[in-house]
C-alpha cells in the first residue's frame, strides 16, 4: 500500500503560517497548538476532523488508495480547509502505528461482512442469466 506523501517544506511553512506561526517559530511550537481546534477524538477513540464526520484514518486511506497529494485530496473535498487536511496528516504522522492499525482493522471488518453477506440477489440473478461471470 502506498504511503501518504511527506509534506514538502513549503507546505509545512504554509500550514504554520495559516495557523498564525512565523517561520522563526517552527522549531519550538508545541504539537497541541497545531491540532487544537482541528482534530477531535470521538467517544470510540477515533481521531476526526473537527466539525466533520471524516476520521483521520479515512482521509489517510483515501489518499493512500488513490495516490492523492494534499492538493488532490482538497480538490475532491473542497469544503475541507487545507489547514484541517494538514492537521490530519500531522496527527497521522504522530500516531502512525495507531492509525495504520485502524485502517487494517476496518478493512478486515469490511471483508468479514462482505463474506458473511454472500452474493447479492442481483448478482445471483445476473449470473443465472449468463450476464455475469
Q: Give the integer Cα–Cα distance in Å for 50 and 6.
A: 22
Q: Give the integer Cα–Cα distance in Å for 75 and 78.
A: 5
Q: Concatenated DSSP letters for 42-99?
A: -TTS-EEETTSS-BHHHHHHHHHHHT--HHHHHHH-TTS-HHHHHHHHHHHHHSHHHH
Q: What is the pLDDT of residues 17-61, one digit of tens each?
A: 676 666 554 444 444 444 678 898 888 889 999 989 999 999 999
Is a pLDDT exceeding 50 seen at residue 65? yes
Is the pTM here over 0.75, yes or no?
no
Q: Give the integer Cα–Cα distance in Å for 63 and 2.
A: 9
Assign a CATH topology to domain 9-98: Arc Repressor Mutant, subunit A (1.10.10)
Amino acid at each position: 500500500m502506498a504511503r501518504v506523501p511527506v509534506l514538502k517544506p513549503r507546505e509545512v511553512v504554509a500550514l504554520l503560517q495559516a495557523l498564525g506561526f512565523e517561520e522563526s517559530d517552527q522549531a519550538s511550537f508545541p504539537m497541541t497548538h497545531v491540532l487544537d481546534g482541528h482534530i477531535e477524538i470521538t467517544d470510540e477513540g477515533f481521531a476526526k476532523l473537527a466539525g466533520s464526520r471524516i476520521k483521520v484514518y479515512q482521509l489517510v486511506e483515501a489518499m493512500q488508495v488513490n495516490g492523492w497529494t494534499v492538493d488532490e485530496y482538497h480538490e475532491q473535498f473542497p469544503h475541507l480547509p487545507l489547514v484541517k487536511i494538514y492537521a490530519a496528516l500531522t496527527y497521522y504522522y504522530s500516531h502512525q502505528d495507531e492509525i495504520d492499525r485502524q485502517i487494517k482493522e476496518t478493512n478486515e471488518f469490511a471483508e468479514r461482512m462482505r463474506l458473511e453477506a454472500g452474493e447479492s440477489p442481483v448478482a445471483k440473478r445476473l449470473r443465472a442469466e449468463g450476464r455475469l461471470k
